[in-house]
Structure 1
Amino acid sequence: MPTSLKDRTVLVVGRGSGIARAIADAALAEGARVVAAGRTVTGLEEAYRDTGVTVRHVDLTDEASIAALAENLGAVDHIVSAASARARGLVGELSPEAIVLSFHTKVVGPIMLAKHFAPRMPGDGSFVLLSGVAALEPDPGFIGVAATNGAVNTITRSLAVELAPIRVNAISPGTVDTGAWDALGDRRKSDFFARLSAANPAGRIGTTEDVAQAAVFAMTNTFMTGVSLPVDGGQPLV
């Protein structure tokens, strides 16, 4: 039976833009009390000014920082870990440090969130992690991202069993226009998106709102756990 986010506390870990911001906005729209946490508090304060969102510091690569946040916040109902440190690049270009940072941010960090927050959460609470289509669609230049997201899918299932009845799910977005592709330049980005849109069964690129709707679904559907939910327009199918 679906439940409501009204008057529940949702912690969103990530930047004040892109997918993390869309999820925070969607939770607010559902009546939740939202806490946004990340490494750069000043940036979050600017992003969430006049929204009613509470801002806190956390560094997912530092267990002491996570423990301090849990102590500061006390009980929360839902946690969304949307932070990332993408290790993009061909094998010959990748450094061990980039791969380790990616794993610490999306895999080790969420495990530490579970360690310090799960004992403070209600039985109908949940964790939502962010995976990604690269785990299912091998592509040159994305081996670090693919390995990280594959690990996210694995820990989602493991945590769902260990933390039960607290639910643990992941959202696995396809290519989404978050601003992360802006470095390509307008022309190359437009051409890239056009090619993917033509190939995708859904016929378009994803939006941050698509991902946010899925995150709300994961938080509120009490009969779903251990799932990595694709929100990718069918991208791996072609």
Structure 2
Amino acid sequence: MSSPSCPRPRTVLVTGAARRLGRQIALTLAAGGWQVAVHYRASTQDAIETVAACARLAGASAHFEADFSDEAAVRALLPRVVGHFGAVDAVVNSASLFEHDDAASFGFATLEQHLRSNTGAPIVLAQALHAHLQARAAAGEADAQGAVVNLLDQKLWNQNPDFLSYTLSKAALEAAGTMLAMALAPRVRVVGVAPGLTLTSHLLSDEKFQQLHRLSPLGRSSTPEDVASAVQFALANRALTGTTLLVDGGQHLMKFERDFSLM
């Protein structure tokens, strides 16, 4: 056990942290002094590189593979991280399945895939963090508290008919955040962070991305740094729970008939 003069470093599990937005979140938290457990599914080399970058900033990091379509793998993940670092204080659920379907192509299989990865896995990880903190409290740690941050999407407040199963899975996660905030208090806080259009994809040219990124009341949507700093704030502010920070330049205040990737 750490002495008061030498507190134990805080540890956060960031899912989907090997690449893109998850990587930026991992690096920002590492720069803030967090030990980062980098979760990935298939991007092994990217995960190794993210771990090295985080370790240079915080002094400790490690990578953990898990397929979020597999409930047993999800349930084993947080205990694996605890086994490596000794304790976990927070979970950032950034990993996300994002595959297109709509009212015409919708089917049970696609919905189930999105619900497993985007809704079920974050709930199981919140459940596991709560159990871990309860055990620490029972062992005598007076201030065993933690937080879960769930990455959502501004389109929940500005809906369109594209990516039906993805949107349903994120809407379910947003509702779960409210319920978990009540069920897991006071041990665990649960906060949502909802970005706007933040990164381009193979569906958008750079020129089109820049055009769409400017479609907001502020003339700019979110950057990876904006989203990561919001996550950092949510983890630090112990009065936040059961709410969502919309970090999107105000895009949720506008009406879009299609998803950005199809505009």
What's the TM-score once normalised by structure 1's chain length? Answer: 0.87
Give 1:57's aligned residue.
65
Output the CA distance in 2 between the equivalents of 1:47 and 1:93: 36
Output the CA distance in 2 between the equivalents of 1:223 and 1:21: 26
Q: Work out which of the residue numbers 173, 190, 214 in structure 2 matches 1:152.
A: 173
Residues 222 and 140 of structure 1: CA distance in aligned 2, closer, same or farther (over 3 Å):
same
Output the CA distance in 2 between the equivalents of 1:50 and 1:220: 22
**Is 1:29 matched up with 2:57?**
no
User: Contact between 1:7 and 1:32, CA under 8 Å: does it hold in 2?
Assistant: yes
Give 1:230's aligned residue.
246
Of all paired residues, the percent bearing the same amino acid is 30
Output the CA distance in 1 between the equivalents of 2:107 and 2:123: 23
Deviation at 1:133, TM superposition (A): 1.2
Output the CA distance in 1 between the equivalents of 2:16 and 2:208: 29
Deviation at 1:194, TM superposition (A): 1.1
Structure 1: runs of 5+ lacking an equivalent: none
Q: 1:1-238 alignment to 2 at 5 Å? A: 7-40=9-42, 42-43=44-45, 44-52=47-55, 53-74=61-82, 75-121=87-133, 123-165=144-186, 166-177=188-199, 179=200, 181-184=201-204, 186=205, 189-197=206-214, 199-238=215-254
Output the CA distance in 1 between the equivalents of 2:43 and 2:208: 35
Moved more, 200-209 or 66-75: 66-75
Q: What does the per-residue CA deviation read over 1:2-46, in whole Å, with 9 as the maximum and x for residues that have no partner?
A: xxx992001101141111111100111101111111222623124
- What SS does the aligned partner of 2:165 have? helix
What's the TM-score once normalised by structure 2's chain length? Answer: 0.80
Aligned CA-pair RMSD: 2.1
Q: What does the per-residue CA deviation read over 1:141-183, in whole Å, with 9 as the maximum and x for residues that have no partner?
A: 2322321221111000100011111101111111112x4x233
- Rg: which structure is higher? 2
Output the CA distance in 1 between the equivalents of 2:53 and 2:196: 31
Structure 2: runs of 5+ lacking an equivalent: 1-6, 56-60, 134-142, 255-263
The one-letter code of the counterpart of 1:137 is: N
Moved more, 67-76 or 123-132: 67-76
Q: Matched residue pairs, number?
A: 228
Output the CA distance in 2 between the equivalents of 1:99 and 1:89: 9
- What SS does the aligned partner of 2:115 have? helix
Moved more, 96-105 or 26-35: 96-105
Residues 193 and 64 of structure 1: CA distance in aligned 2, closer, same or farther (over 3 Å):
same
Residues 45 and 192 of structure 1: CA distance in aligned 2, closer, same or farther (over 3 Å):
closer
Output the CA distance in 2 between the equivalents of 1:163 and 1:206: 30
Q: Looking at both structures, which has the greater relative contact order when contacts are Cα pairs under 8 Å and sequence separation is at least 6? A: 1
User: Contact between 1:136 and 1:146, CA under 8 Å: does it hold in 2?
Assistant: no
- What SS does the aligned partner of 2:207 have? helix
Moved more, 44-53 or 163-172: 44-53
Output the CA distance in 1 between the equivalents of 2:73 and 2:164: 29
Deviation at 1:192, TM superposition (A): 4.8
Output the CA distance in 2 between the equivalents of 1:233 and 1:125: 28
Output the CA distance in 1 between the equivalents of 2:195 and 2:234: 14
- What SS does the aligned partner of 1:11 have? strand
